[in-house]
Amino acid sequence: MTNIRSLIYVPVLHTQKEAGEILLSLKRDEAGASSDTSLVEQEKSVKEMWDGIHEKIQNTNISCPTIRIYQDAMPVCGREKEIAEKLAQKASRNHQLILELVKNGANIEGTEDPDLLIEEYGNLSQLIGKAAVSIQSYRDSLNEYKEKGALLMKKRDAFIAERIKSTLKEGETPLVFMGVRHELEKLLQSSFAINYIIYRLPFKKVGDIYNV
């Protein structure tokens, strides 16, 4: 009987608060430190969520050098660490955590097909472009994006699943950070025993966190 390996799956929850965090942080770089109360609260909440995930990863007691990290939107390009560094500088907690793990010996792996990411970028640009025109235009475009996006996401997931299976070395544990739109687990559950790491914040309602 084949021994099924363990995989750690961290659903990256794009909270409404966190979604703009990277962009807000970039803005703050230009405008100087902000004393805005809501922004401070946002920072605190997002930090708390990622601290919680960090703690849970540590509690798995898996040695960092045996961890291979697979990250949403991380292209196969040979510059994965530099990209993580750049995004970490831009206040992405997700990437800050990855860098810390890498510093402790974890390996980061190119995860996604760059051409599919470009396609995704094109779809998003189109969607956002429509948002500036009118609400109706955005609504129509959002529906169109969802249709195109579902097909594209299947292709992305298929690539990622194959990437994990083909790059994972003997004795390593895959640590997968994926956005909630991905359905990667469906493609992995036959090959891995999936352990989910989810940290929930004490928000007033679930919708505040999960954009539902």
Partner 1 sequence: MSDRTQKPSLLSKDFSKLFSPIRINADILEGDKSLALYEFVSIFLPNVGPSIFNFLVDMEKHSQKLIASIEPKKRERLIKDLEGVTVEIHYLIKDKGKELVALPVNICPAEVLRNAMLAKQGSRYTEKMQEEISQIFVSFIAKEVQRRIKGMIESALKTLLTKPRMPAILKKLMGLGLVDKEGHLTEGATIEDLISGKYAGLFKKVVPEELINEALMLKETIKACYGWEGEDHLSSANDALAEKGILEIVLGEIKEKGRAPKEANV
Binding interface with partner 1 (CB under 8 A):
14, 16, 18-23, 26-27, 30, 73-75, 77-79, 82-83, 86-87, 90, 92, 114-115, 117-118, 120-121, 124-125, 127-129, 131-136, 138-139, 142, 145, 179, 211
Q: How far is the CB of 185 from partner 1 (least distance, A)?
A: 20
* 52 versus 179: smaller Cβ distance to partner 1: 179
* 177 versus 192: smaller Cβ distance to partner 1: 177
Q: How far is the CB of 127 from partner 1 (least distance, A)?
A: 5
* 30 versus 170: smaller Cβ distance to partner 1: 30
Q: How far is the CB of 132 from partner 1 (least distance, A)?
A: 5
Are 16 and 208 within 8 A, CB to CB?
yes
- Please state whether beta strands 192-196 and 5-12 pair in parallel, antiparallel, or not at all (unpaired): parallel
Q: How far is the CB of 35 from partner 1 (least distance, A)?
A: 17
Q: How far is the CB of 107 from partner 1 (least distance, A)?
A: 19
* 4 versus 206: smaller Cβ distance to partner 1: 206
* 7 versus 98: smaller Cβ distance to partner 1: 98
In three-state form (DSSP H/G/I as H, E/B as E, the rest C), the secondary structure along the chain is CCCCEEEEEEEECCCHHHHCHHHHHHHHHHHCCCCCHHHHHHHHHHHHHHHHHHHHHHHCCCCHHHEEEEECCCECCCCHHHHHHHHHHCCCHHHHHHHHHHHCCCEEECCECHHHHHHHHHHHHHHHHHHCCCHHHHHHHHHHHHHHHHHHHHHHHHHHHHHHHHHCCCCCEEEEEEECCCCHHHHHCCCEEEEECCCCCCCCCHHHHHCC
